[in-house]
Amino acid sequence: MCKVIMIGCDLHDKTMLLKIAVDREAAVTRSVRNTADGRRKMIADLKTQKKQAGAGRIIFAYEASGLGFGLYDQLTDAGIECHVLAPTGLERSVQHRRRKTDERDAEQLLGALRAHVLAGNELPSVWVPDRQTRDDRDLVRARVDIADKLTMVKNEIKSLLKRNGIRRPAALGKGWTRSYYSWLEQLADEQNPQLAPGASVSLASKLREIQFVEAEVLRLDEQVIALAMTDRYRGAFYELIRLKGVGNLTAMLFLTEIGDLSRFKNRKQIAAFFGLAPSTYESGQADDRKGHITRQGPGRVRKVLCQATWARVRTDERTRAVYDRLVERNPKHKKIAVVACMRRLGIEMWHRAQHHPRPHSGSTQRDRPAAPSPSARAPASG
């Protein structure tokens, strides 16, 4: 049997702490600078060690984090097998959490890797999307995040008015209408006696911020639609927006976050990925005990699924019937009915999107004239 060099890596912004071992031999600790030059030297040293040890494989493991998959790309390009592990999939004792160090974390990753290589245990590896999918995600996530910023600024304006004891005139109705904006601009005038000078300046600043953010929303909407019209997404995108309540942004966020549709085998797996599956606790005589949903997976998708579900409850008779039936069964916990409808919608979107397999990931051919208008999206689902 060929020897295997295994590395558990505790990855940080500036450093990487490595625990390196060959088969069952004692591990060696090494610290590496997390720079382009430091990574190249590390890879060269690992390949040299592979030759000297007569090993057949080098296997590397680190935890998924906000640092992305750059290290994974560099290692796989160099011919090194790499696994990115889900932190939630690694069992940690109370003692480990209370005495958490970089060295102990790297040692635990090495232990999980050894158990996988030598005993066949399953690794809690995350699915690593290709580079194109990652780039597409950045665009769609930027559109989602800018909408959150818009909501935040509007809430700040409401708080400012409340602090200064100013109420919205009833004649302006509800919503952020043009007449409401005009009223706010009049308040922001420093000559207006209703607001103190400092509050007027603050309100004027926030109104300018809203103008900028709204313009940025329109720019990103155009970019998201252009992405939807590429060969990579067009077919599945049009299939999804046919569903009531599912708008342009909801469809594209779903497709980019889910990535490879074929990696899910059934509805249980897709519900678990979205974090909409109930948690389970079984022990002794207590079996099949269900708890709250796990909330694992992309929270952005759960958010837009929730918005789309409420739109469907209002506009789709079938969804409304399911929602009413579940509420009637448990009227004190309406959230359960909403979550159940979210899960049904996510599964239905997965089934529909599967009818349109994607071409090669590098395909970016555009057909923008056929794109739906950004303003045509369902307001409730983004």
Domain ranges in the chain are: 3-119, 131-228, 234-381
pLDDT at 369 over 70: no
pLDDT at 378 over 60: no
Those residues with Cβ within 8 angstroms of residue 249's Cβ, 6 or more apart along the chain or in another chain: 140, 143, 144, 221, 224, 304, 377, 381, 382
**3 state SS of 125:** strand
Quote the pLDDT of residue 161: 94
How many C-beta atoms surround the C-beta of residue 163 within 10 A? 9
Question: How many Å from the N-terminal Cα to the C-terminal Cα in the chain?
Answer: 55
Quote the pLDDT of residue 333: 86
Quote the pLDDT of residue 365: 43
Quote the pLDDT of residue 137: 95
Quote the pLDDT of residue 151: 95
pLDDT digits (tens, 9 = 90+) for 174-184: 899 999 999 99
Quote the pLDDT of residue 359: 52
More confident residue, 230 or 356: 230
β-strands 286-293, 278-283: how paired?
Answer: antiparallel
pLDDT digits (tens, 9 = 90+) for 295-345: 888 889 999 999 999 999 999 999 999 999 999 998 888 899 999 999 999
- State the pLDDT confidence band at 381, using cuts at 50, 70 and 90: very low
- For the segment 150-155, the average pLDDT, to the nearest whole number, is 96
Residue with tokens 């958010």: 303
Integer Cα distance of 301 and 227 in angstroms: 18
Integer Cα distance of 208 and 228 in angstroms: 30
Quote the pLDDT of residue 364: 47
**3 state SS of 130:** coil
Integer Cα distance of 186 and 192 in angstroms: 7
Integer Cα distance of 96 and 62 in angstroms: 17
pLDDT at 156 over 50: yes
- State the pLDDT confidence band at 251, using cuts at 50, 70 and 90: very high
- State the pLDDT confidence band at 95, using cuts at 50, 70 and 90: confident
pTM: 0.84
Q: Which of 72, 55, 52 is nearest to 63 (CA)?
A: 72
**3 state SS of 375:** helix
Under 8 Å between Cβ of 83 and 125: yes
pLDDT digits (tens, 9 = 90+) for 217-230: 999 999 999 999 99
- For the segment 273-293, the average pLDDT, to the nearest whole number, is 72
Locate 314 and state its tokens: 């209002």
High-pLDDT (> 70) share of the chain, %: 90
Extended beta strands in the chain, E state: 3-11, 15-22, 28-33, 55-63, 81-85, 278-283, 286-293
How many C-beta atoms surround the C-beta of residue 131 within 10 A? 12
Averaged confidence pLDDT in the chain: 88
Under 8 Å between Cβ of 73 and 128: no
pLDDT at 291 over 60: yes
CATH number for the segment(s) 3-119: 3.30.420
pLDDT at 356 over 60: yes
